[in-house]
Amino acid sequence: MPSPNAESTAFRSALEVIRAVEPRVADAIGAELADQRESLKLIASENYASPATLLAMGNWFSDKYAEGTVGRRFYAGCQNVDTVEALAAEHAKELFGAAHAYVQPHSGIDANLVAFWAVLADRVEAPALKKAQVRQVNDLTEQDWFTLRRELGNQRMLGMSLDAGGHLTHGFRPNISGKMFDQRSYGTDPVTGLVDYDKVAEAAREFKPMILVAGYSAYPRKVNFRIMREIADSVGATFMVDMAHFAGLVAGKVFTGDFDPVPHAHIVTTTTHKSLRGPRGGMVLCGPELADQVDRGCPMVLGGPLPHVMAAKAVALAEARRPDFAGYAQRVVDNAQALAEGLLRRGAKLVTGGTDNHLVLIDVAGYGLTGRQAEQALLDSGIVTNRNSVPQDPNGAWYTSGIRIGTPALTTRGLGVAEMDATAELIHTVLGRTTPGSNTDGTPSKAKYVLDPALADKVSRQATDLLSAFPLYPSITLA
């Protein structure tokens, strides 16, 4: 344990030094801590990294270029970067039981791109790949992309549809993955909201993808990766899992057996900052057969690695290997289930009727609202969430009909199932008392809403009261 005042001293000193150069930055950093302390953070993809993780990012590693891999760099003087990159990879391998870990990706999108190119490089004939690689990606027109896809053999990717909870990077057109691959999606059962493995198998048989992707950012249930691997094998697909959202539940051994992606997938990607509670960044895990291709991520796909973030990954992964991380991971799920039960008891409509992971998706059409109206009304009331599509969403991806809420951040803060019931009450109160607004010409608006400001203030105060027993970073005082 650090000495009692070490964390406060570290952050206070850092701010003092920053303030001497650009006081507005120091003020904004302080204000961010204050805002995070005061709000009920229910964004399913956010968390609170430890002081040690945060501090590991603010140092001289930021100044170092280190293209290449451990012991094989394109720059001299990388011995200390080698130390932290090797440590992060070692912790990741031990934590997840993976043969290989590549810890350089700067984000989840980067990790997925590294994985896609590794699979393409492994499976596409070398001349086609070489031809495809000679272009400057930034200059490509739609026609160029069409040609490039053709040169790559029109490789196919099958992933979960966006409105069922899949992610943009799983082959959708606004993302580069949708330009690299011909994409098709599998959805969820219209009645249960659950993945229908028979339908996935049917889609795989028809479409014959090169890559079958599992993983989600808004699906509130477990996925059976053993079955998904069998489907992939039956059509000769590479099975990839993007576990960005639930990596903390895998690390904490809440998702085991068929629900642990690592033993079942050929390649697994993740971010490190969501339920895993590390610094912002990404990571790829794989077996020895894809390791060499994955390690070419930089410069194939990535810019120079961020050694300061790899240092923080090493710290956070070391924390996740401690016994108490399993307790945190279990509480994340217990809390999500308590929140879901609290909402259901009060009459909310939830996609799939509940959760068995860290997130809950409220279908706010049950309150007569769009996701955008609900998100803003909750924000006015001190509750930070994000709007999200629901399956077959009639309001599209901008207005949406859903609110996604998640428990990793509040769980890290120490809130438990009793506070989740209180949180459900606050959410239900706000949504139940918000009504859709109108445009100036009297037509119904999908964005405007009516909420009594006095009620929003009251709920805000209740949220602050709820949080007051669970101070965020209690060891740190900045003033």
Q: Residue 189 in contact with residue 196, Cβ under 8 Å?
A: yes
Would residue 271 show up in a list of annotated catalytic residues for this protein?
A: yes
DSSP 17: H
Which pair of structure tokens corresponds to residue 347? 């009459």
Nearer to ligand DSN, 217 or 462 (CB): 217
Between 257 and 396, name the residue whose CB sits nearer to ligand DSN: 396
d(CA 406, CA 47): 10
Check 163, 242, 363, 375 and give the catalytic one. 242
Q: What is the residue whose two structure tokens read 């489907």?
A: 231
477 given a catalytic annotation: no
Give strand pairing partners of 388.
Answer: 402
Q: Catalytic site residue 280?
A: yes
Q: How many residues bind ligand DSN (CB under 6 A)?
A: 3
- Is residue 274 part of the annotated active site? The answer reads yes
Query: In the complex with ligand DSN, which residue's Cβ is closer, 18 or 162?
Result: 162
β-bridge pairing 359-363 and 282-286: unpaired
The site string for ligand DSN over 27-46 (x = CB under 6 A, - otherwise) reads ------------------x-
Q: Which residue is nearest to ligand DSN (CB)?
A: 45
Q: Are 264 and 81 in contact (CB under 8 A)?
A: no
* Least CB distance to ligand DSN at residue 168 (A): 7
Give the shortest CB-46-to-ligand DSN separation in angstroms. Answer: 8
Neighbours of 79 (CB within 10 A): 9
Report in angstroms how near the CB of residue 162 gets to ligand DSN at its nearest: 11
| Closest CB 357 distance from ligand DSN, rounded Å | 13
Residue 60, judged by CB atoms within 10 A of its CB (0-12, 13-18, 19+), counts as exposed
Binding characters for ligand DSN, 45-74, by CB under 6 A (x = yes): x-----------------------------
Half-sphere exposure of 226 toward its Cβ, with a 13 Å CA cutoff? 5
Closer residue to ligand DSN, CB minimum distance, 108 or 279 = 108
Task: Please tell me which residue in 37, 65, 149, 349 is annotated as part of the active site.
Answer: 65
Q: Whole-number minimum distance, CB 406 to ligand DSN, in Å? A: 9
How far is the first Cα of the chain from the last one, in angstroms, to the nearest whole number?
A: 23
Distance CA 288, CA 311 (A): 24
Q: Which two tokens stand for residue 371?
A: 């996701």
The answer to the question of residue 217 lying near ligand DSN (CB under 6 A) is yes
Give residues 94-153 in contact with ligand DSN (rule: CB under 6 A): 108
When the beta carbons of 72 and 173 are compared against ligand DSN, the nearer one is 173
What are the structure tokens assigned to 38, written together? 């005061």
Residue 77, classified by CB atoms within 10 Å of its CB into exposed (0-12), middle (13-18) or buried (19+), is exposed
Q: Is residue 328 among the annotated active site residues?
A: no
**CB of residue 408 vs ligand DSN: minimum separation in angstroms?**
11
Distance of alpha carbon 335 from alpha carbon 270, whole angstroms: 23
Catalytic site residue from 38, 46, 64, 67:
67
Residues labelled as active-site residues: 65, 67, 242, 271, 274, 280
Rule CB under 6 A: which residues touch ligand DSN? Answer: 45, 108, 217
